[in-house]
Amino acid sequence: MNDESDVNLQSELIRLRDSNAELHRKVLALADANAYAAELLAALEEAQEREAKLVRRGEELDLQTRLDLVMQHERVESRLVELVASELLATGSLGAKSYVVDMLPDVQRMARSSTEKAAGEHAVPDCSVADDAGLVVVDGHFAIPIYVSQRAVGYIRLEVGNTDTTWSERWVRFLGSIGCQLGMSLHRLRVEHENERMNTELIVARDQALEASRAKTVFLANMSHELRTPMNAILGYSEMLIEDAGLMSSEEVAADLQKIRNAGKHLLALINDVLDLSKIESGKMTLHHESFLIGELVQDIVSTIEPIALKNHNRIAVHCPAEIGAMYSDAMKVRQSLMNLLSNACKFSQNSVIDLVISTQSHEREEYVSFAVCDRGIGMTSDQIAKLFQAFVQADESTTRKYGGTGLGLMISRRLCQMLGGDIRVSSELGKGSTFTIELPRIASAVLAPSGLGGAGDSQSAANSAIKTDVIRGGTIRGEAIRGTVLAIDDNPDALDLISRSLSKDGYRVIMATSGEAGLVLARSHRPDIITLDVMMPQMNGWQVLAAIKADVHLSTTPVVLLSVVENNEIAMALGATDCLTKPIDWGKLQVCLDRLLPRNDPDRILVVEDDPASSELVTRILQKDGWKIEKASNGREAFACMEASPPSLVLLDLMMPEMDGFELVARLRTHPTLSKIPVLVLTSKMLTPEDHARLNGRVLDVLSKGTTERNDLLEAVRRAQATRHGT
């Protein structure tokens, strides 16, 4: 019994132990589950916190994105601040109930900035470390300060319901950063607006300057007529009075008139410089390229400049290779530039030699011709050289006072050379002299050289091939004596042929003699009205023939015109010659000379169309004195009526006139059935544009410029026009 009970108890104990072990296992398992649950709860809480942070960050990024768009695209300051404030109000998590924008006037901004600095406050919160110091609490509102260039320009006042610690930690720094960003945006806008204002002012100023330049150009173009017209009268009348005074042997009066004429020419040169500058600046300076021999151009320039050199007892020494050849460029512009350099060298030197050195060199496979003008004058410093090519500026004021001048010449010369594809260089040493060098391409850029342009050898061989070898032996008569008889004495048969052909077509009977002895025989037998005489002849030269003519009682009053390869005016006049022309002969000048010595018996009628009374009277007197019959009209309408009533043989026309100008008159003439063939010669002071030239091209014979056209030039042009009319 006891054994059985023990067994039962033992079995129950084992069951209890197993049950306790199972319970213990369950308790342990439950403890593990609770620990895991706690871990899960902690992880969940952490995830929720991270989610909340991400949501807040997303809201802030969204707000920042919207603010960036506003600050990038809005261009009006007041609207920009309002839009920023509106975006803050629209952000629900910020908790703003309302806002007020308070922008300070400029005076208040300056006063507040001074107060803040005096109080030791931070004027500008750093955008990256904004804190509570960047915000101001005013009447329960958070005021976000807006700073531009270290000055408070205004505030955005936000009414916020909940401003606990959590809200402050989240928003205070962010709102301070927004204030900084808004301030920088306002600063950028103000800079942009200021730049736009300045650009607008610059555009207006540029337009005004362009308009002023255009008005100046138009003014100078119009003034060219107004200035050159009276200058033409001054020069023309002084030239006529000088000639009259010479005939009356009034040397004192002639000297005074010569001073007037020289002063007028100087004034005209100044006017032309200003007008040239105007044409260059307005882009209306045109180029006229042609082929010309460099040596001939230099010789012509030096002969023209020699009187200027002699005033200061200077001498010009030319160093030009015989094989220098030809150029294809604008000969007039080259001449003008080189004349200016030589004139300056003569002006700034005394008792000296001025060297003109012509040479060639190649740059980048292009050949250039150099004209170096070397003087031993006053020289210049480097500072003076820097001012040389500025308009209206000379080296220094003392130079201007002593030597005069406008300072335009060098500037114009350089601009002309640049237009021709070259430039002017200068080197100088104070007190030792200066060297100005013009470098120009032998063939003007962008222009094809004409065929046959080569060295001097080509031109010389062409000239030599044109020389004939036949010799006229004895006297030969050509033409009929419609206007008179001319005896031409020259040992060169080609020269005689040219003289006879030119003069016989103009109505002269020409007797030709190939030697001085034969010329004297023919002069005594034919008693010519005029004698043309070559100087350089074998056996009996021109001086001997002239002396024999003046010694002959029957021939002493016969006008003798000397033709020479060099100028010998003083000797010729001293021996009794009437005039002296330089070979090669300028046929126009020869015809003018003969017309003056032998006026027409039945002169052709010329219509002078000119509105300026002084100019009209001057041209009339010049032409009448030369034997022409003159009629006058003061405008195109009056001239047209006059021509319809009685057509003239030639029209001498001004362009700038009231009622009907010269352009309109020419156009009407060329469409008229009976007046279209009347030759027209233009004499104007207007600066002709390419459009003006196009309107006149093919409709007029020639265009002469008032002021630069002298008496002989005018008569020569009239003679050429009449020769054209008569088909000669």
The residue with tokens 């126009």 is 588
Phi and psi angles of residue 388, each rounded to the nearest 5 degrees, phi first:
-60, -45
State residue 726's pLDDT score. Answer: 56
* Statement: residue 369 has pLDDT above 90: yes
Phi and psi angles of residue 362, each rounded to the nearest 5 degrees, phi first:
-115, 140
Q: How many CB atoms lie within 10 A of CB 77?
A: 17
The arithmetic mean of pLDDT across residues 172-185, rounded, is 84
The band of 276, judged by pLDDT with boundaries at 50, 70 and 90, is: low
- Report the C-alpha gap between 74 and 182 in whole angstroms: 12
The arithmetic mean of pLDDT across residues 344-362, rounded, is 89
Give the pTM: 0.41
- Report the C-alpha gap between 513 and 492 in whole angstroms: 10
320-337 per-position pLDDT tens digit: 998 888 888 888 889 888
Which candidate, 320, 335, 342, 226, places its Cα nearest to that of 274?
226
The arithmetic mean of pLDDT across residues 340-369, rounded, is 88
Q: Residue 615 contacts by C-beta under 8 Å, 6 or more apart in sequence?
A: 229, 232, 233, 654, 706
Ranked by mean pLDDT, which of 268-272, 454-458, 670-674 comes out on top? 670-674
* Statement: residue 433 has pLDDT above 60: yes
615 to 92, 270, 328, 612, 718: CA distances (angstroms): 92, 20, 37, 5, 16
695-706 per-position pLDDT tens digit: 888 888 888 888
Burial tier of 139 (Cβ tally within 10 Å: 0-12, 13-18, 19+) = exposed
Q: pLDDT higher for 275 or 517? A: 517
Q: pLDDT higher for 587 or 659? A: 659
Window from 164-173, 553-562, 680-689 with minimum mean pLDDT: 164-173
CB 277 within 8 A of CB 391: yes
State residue 479's pLDDT score. Answer: 53
Chain-centroid distance, C-alpha 440:
18
The arithmetic mean of pLDDT across residues 275-293, rounded, is 72
State residue 217's pLDDT score. Answer: 66
CB 282 within 8 A of CB 215: no
* Statement: residue 129 has pLDDT above 60: no
Q: Residue 710 contacts by C-beta under 8 Å, 6 or more apart in sequence?
A: 235, 239
CB 414 within 8 A of CB 387: no
The arithmetic mean of pLDDT across residues 411-416, rounded, is 85
- Report the C-alpha gap between 282 and 216 in whole angstroms: 10
CA angle (436, 438, 439) in 5-degree steps: 140
State residue 126's pLDDT score. Answer: 37
Q: How many CB atoms lie within 10 A of CB 302?
A: 19
Which candidate, 97, 108, 88, 175, places its Cα nearest to that of 140?
97
461-481 per-position pLDDT tens digit: 333 332 222 222 335 566 555
The residue with tokens 């062409």 is 462
Window from 27-31, 159-163, 400-404, 650-654 with minimum mean pLDDT: 400-404
State residue 651's pLDDT score. Answer: 92
State residue 107's pLDDT score. Answer: 43
* Statement: residue 1 has pLDDT above 80: no
The residue with tokens 């260089």 is 425
Which candidate, 294, 291, 302, 345, places its Cα nearest to that of 321?
294
State residue 446's pLDDT score. Answer: 44
State residue 501's pLDDT score. Answer: 78
* Statement: residue 139 has pLDDT above 70: no
Window from 20-24, 91-95, 253-257, 342-346 with minimum mean pLDDT: 253-257
- Report the C-alpha gap between 586 and 579 in whole angstroms: 13
The arithmetic mean of pLDDT across residues 583-611, rounded, is 77
State residue 243's pLDDT score. Answer: 67
Which candidate, 630, 686, 683, 707, places its Cα nearest to that of 236?
707
State residue 403's pLDDT score. Answer: 47
Please report, as a single letter, which amino acid is at residue 305.
I
The band of 43, judged by pLDDT with boundaries at 50, 70 and 90, is: confident
Whole-number average pLDDT of the chain: 77
Phi and psi angles of residue 679, each rounded to the nearest 5 degrees, phi first:
-70, 140
* Statement: residue 393 has pLDDT above 60: no
Please report, as a single letter, which amino acid is at residue 176.
G
437-456 per-position pLDDT tens digit: 999 998 876 433 333 333 43
